[in-house]
């Protein structure tokens, strides 16, 4: 007999996500439903506003990747009205995006995803001298270098554990038996977890050098950037370089090493980690290294075919709301997309935890829409960026992917697993660590002869405009779509990375990446479903981004109850 398992809320993510699955008698997941349970609404409040405020308003879609929406919204306006942007401004924007990538990926692996792999309490049993030796296996210059340092970490953790404040982590997640690190490996991972907290601050400061502050930088305007004096100040340029070097060192010596360690401990049985079952992947140009030249190239891989990466046709994107809490008669292209709430309740039924509200299977069950490319679900994010660029033969990407596979002994097929997705996020960060500085170099070269940062845009209120922008946000491909009429925003839609990945099944019954990646996964014990958390966390969910709906006057657009 099949059983329902409900996890609500999923923690260690941004926002409100509920995962429900049905398992068979062997506890193998047969069906999965990803449901976002909080309604917001920024697309609605943009209507009737001046396009020059779009960036600052859409920035509030998220408190994590604030810069992604700020930049993408501003670029959508620039695309619509045909505004030119000086190269210096383009380089500075790209540098801020690079810093955001590094920030979010490091925070994701250590703070949000790490406890799916690392058992905190186990580290207390480690022999620090042995751990120092083990660390040498995963890096020539390990960050977790000395016995003394590792012993100090252990003592710090012991003090914390002794306070009894570990909550659910007292026994890792529910003492689930699929934790595979040795005590020494857990100690190495933990020492990097503490270091990551410091690095998070340093990389946030990098963003603030050009953005005035972080989160929610303030220096991007339609037509350019406002951090003019910072850009031509050698001291500021140096501050950026110094901080960047600190972050790069952490990525090379800790983040990279920890994924090689994870592959060593977990890579033999990648099936227990879950597969990547939607094999379409899309990502866009990223890291500007010269005029119209990017380190990462855009493209779409279909059916896992890395030999034939296609160009993206933005007009093949549509959003389906058959199972989303919105009203629309058919899938819509975002330029003509609507956001009309229509909530329906869950139904009570037996689950492994007793009677609970559950998805009825036929109806609507999420505030996330279901984006499709030519009618097909697509995974976006660092795994997509790695596969698209590997397929395109981008040497900087081929090098890190092949090196990772060689050092771990994993086959290429291992990329299509939860471990592969988590490793890809590290590799995406590593490519930027090694080559992203070309943007800085291009800026420094350019300001020798050109200090322009802004070109006043021209908006004719008598004209109608439409446009869009695509950027690679940390969690994947982000696109913003705008129509302008009478000098004001007429329609606005954002199609966000987590929307692509977390969206519910569509009107043709096709499931998106979250749901597909859970099907076939075996749970050791359905009442302790760490396996589900590990898969879902590997996408780095951001539900604020994916729903982005909120009435600016605080009026109720729809009433519902969260049980």
Q: Which residues are annotated as a binding site for Mg(2+)?
A: 43, 62, 548
Pick out the residues of the known binding site.
Answer: 43, 62, 65, 542, 545, 548
Q: Which is nearer to Mg ion, 283 or 339 (CB)?
A: 339
Q: Least separation, in Å, of the C-beta of 548 and Mg ion?
A: 6
Closest CA to 428 of 490, 361, 477, 358: 477
Pick out the residues of the known binding site for Ni(2+).
Answer: 65, 542
User: SS3 sequence, 142-198?
Assistant: CCCCCHHHHHHHHHHHHHHHHCCCCHHHECECCCCCCCCCCHHHHHHHHHHHHHHHH
Task: Out of 357, 474, 504, 526, name the contact with ligand NFE by CB under 6 A.
Answer: 474
At residue 70, φ and ψ (nearest 5 deg) are -55, -50
Residue 312's alpha-carbon distances to 204, 276, 304, 373, 497, in angstroms, are 32, 21, 16, 9, 15
Structure tokens at 488: 């004001």
Within 13 Å of residue 333, how many CA atoms lie on the same side as its CB?
Answer: 12
Residue 546 binds which entry of ligand NFE, Mg ion, none, with Cβ cut-offs from 5 to 8 Å by kind? ligand NFE
Q: Least separation, in Å, of the C-beta of 494 and Mg ion?
A: 4
Asked if residue 428 binds ligand NFE (CB under 6 A), the reply is no
At residue 30, φ and ψ (nearest 5 deg) are -100, -40
Structure tokens at 146: 């000395």
Q: Least separation, in Å, of the C-beta of 296 and ligand NFE?
A: 15
- Using CB under 5 A as the binding criterion, the count of chain residues that bind Mg ion stands at 1
Task: Out of 19, 34, 44, 65, name the contact with ligand NFE by CB under 6 A.
Answer: 65
Task: Out of 478, 521, 536, 550, name the contact with ligand NFE by CB under 6 A.
Answer: 478
Asked if residue 498 binds ligand NFE (CB under 6 A), the reply is yes
Question: d(Cα 418, Cα 399) in Å, to the nearest integer?
Answer: 21
Q: Which is nearer to ligand NFE, 14 or 506 (CB)?
A: 14
Residue 475 binds which entry of Mg ion, ligand NFE, none, with Cβ cut-offs from 5 to 8 Å by kind? ligand NFE
Closest CA to 394 of 347, 434, 450, 350: 434
- Using CB under 6 A as the binding criterion, the count of chain residues that bind ligand NFE stands at 17
Closest CA to 347 of 364, 332, 335: 364
Q: Which is nearer to Mg ion, 383 or 494 (CB)?
A: 494
Each residue 482-501 as x (binds Mg ion by CB under 5 A) or -, in order, gives: ------------x-------
Q: Least separation, in Å, of the C-beta of 72 and ligand NFE?
A: 7
Each residue 335-374 as x (binds ligand NFE by CB under 6 A) or -, in order, gives: ----------------------------------------
Surface-to-core class of residue 348, CB atoms within 10 Å of its CB (0-12 exposed, 13-18 middle, 19+ buried): exposed
Asked if residue 475 binds ligand NFE (CB under 6 A), the reply is yes
Q: Is residue 36 a contact partner of residue 499, using CB atoms and an 8 Å limit?
A: no
Helices 234-250 and 437-446, packing angle to 10 deg: 170
Task: Out of 36, 298, 370, 546, name the contact with ligand NFE by CB under 6 A.
Answer: 546
DSSP designation for 124: G
Q: Which is nearer to Mg ion, 45 or 494 (CB)?
A: 494
Task: Out of 21, 34, 62, 273, name the contact with ligand NFE by CB under 6 A.
Answer: 62
Question: d(Cα 55, Cα 508) in Å, to the nearest integer?
Answer: 35
Residue 474 binds which entry of Mg ion, ligand NFE, none, with Cβ cut-offs from 5 to 8 Å by kind? ligand NFE
* Residues near ligand NFE (CB under 6 A): 14, 62, 64-65, 68-69, 473-475, 478, 496-498, 542, 544-546
* Residues near Mg ion (CB under 5 A): 494
């Amino acid at each position: 007999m099949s059983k329902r398992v409900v996890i609500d809320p999923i923690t260690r993510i941004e926002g409100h996500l509920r995962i429900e699955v049905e398992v068979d008698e062997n506890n193998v997941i047969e069906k999965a439903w990803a449901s976002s349970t909080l309604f917001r609404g920024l697309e609605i409040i943009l209507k009737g506003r001046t396009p020059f405020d779009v960036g600052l308003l859409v920035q509030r879609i998220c408190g994590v990747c604030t810069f992604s929406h700020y930049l993408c919204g501003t670029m959508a306006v620039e695309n619509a009205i045909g505004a030119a942007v000086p190269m210096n401004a383009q380089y500075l924007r790209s540098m801020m995006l690079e810093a955001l990538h590094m920030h979010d990926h490091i925070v994701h692996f250590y703070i949000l995803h790490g406890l799916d792999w690392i058992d905190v309490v186990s580290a207390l049993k480690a022999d620090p001298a042995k751990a120092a030796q083990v660390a040498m296996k995963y890096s020539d210059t390990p960050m977790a270098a000395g016995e003394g340092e590792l012993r100090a970490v252990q003592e710090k953790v012991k003090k914390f554990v002794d306070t009894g404040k570990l909550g659910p982590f007292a026994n890792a997640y529910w003492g689930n038996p699929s934790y595979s690190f040795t005590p020494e490996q857990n100690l190495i991972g933990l020492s990097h977890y503490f270091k990551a907290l410091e690095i998070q601050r340093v990389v946030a400061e990098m963003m603030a050098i050009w953005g005035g502050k972080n989160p929610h930088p303030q220096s991007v305007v339609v037509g350019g950037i406002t951090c003019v004096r910072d850009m031509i100040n050698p001291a500021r340029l140096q501050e950026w370089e110094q901080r960047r070097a600190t972050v790069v060192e952490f990525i090379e010596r800790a983040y990279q090493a920890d994924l090689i360690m994870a592959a060593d401990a977990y890579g033999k049985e990648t099936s227990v980690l879950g597969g990547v079952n939607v094999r379409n992947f899309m990502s866009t140009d990223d890291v500007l290294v010269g005029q119209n030249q990017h380190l990462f190239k855009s493209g779409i891989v279909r059916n896992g075919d890395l030999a034939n990466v296609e160009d993206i046709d933005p007009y093949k994107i549509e959003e389906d709301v058959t199972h989303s809490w919105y009203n629309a008669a058919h899938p819509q292209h975002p330029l003509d997309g609507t956001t009309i709430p229509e909530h329906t309740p869950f139904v009570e039924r037996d689950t492994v935890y007793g009677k609970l509200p559950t998805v009825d299977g036929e109806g609507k069950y999420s505030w996330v829409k279901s984006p499709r490319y030519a009618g097909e679900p697509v995974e976006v994010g660092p795994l997509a960026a790695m596969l698209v660029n590997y397929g395109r033969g981008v040497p900087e990407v081929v090098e890190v992917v092949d090196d990772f596979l060689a050092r771990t002994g994993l086959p290429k097929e291992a990329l299509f697993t939860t471990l592969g997705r988590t490793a890809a996020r590290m590799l995406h960060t590593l490519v930027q660590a090694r080559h992203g500085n070309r943007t800085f170099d291009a800026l420094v070269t350019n300001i020798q002869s050109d200090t322009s940062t802004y070109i006043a845009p021209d908006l004719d209120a008598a004209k109608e405009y439409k446009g869009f922008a695509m950027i690679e946000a940390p969690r994947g491909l982000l696109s913003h779509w705008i129509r302008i009429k009478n000098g004001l925003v007429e329609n606005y839609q954002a199609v966000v990375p987590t929307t692509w990945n977390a969206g519910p099944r569509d009107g043709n019954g096709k499931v998106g990446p979250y749901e597909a990646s859970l099907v076939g996964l075996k749970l050791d014990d359905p009442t302790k479903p760490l396996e589900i958390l590990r898969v879902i966390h590997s996408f780095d969910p951001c539900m604020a981004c994916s729903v982005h709906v909120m009435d600016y006057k605080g009026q109720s657009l729809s009433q519902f109850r969260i049980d």
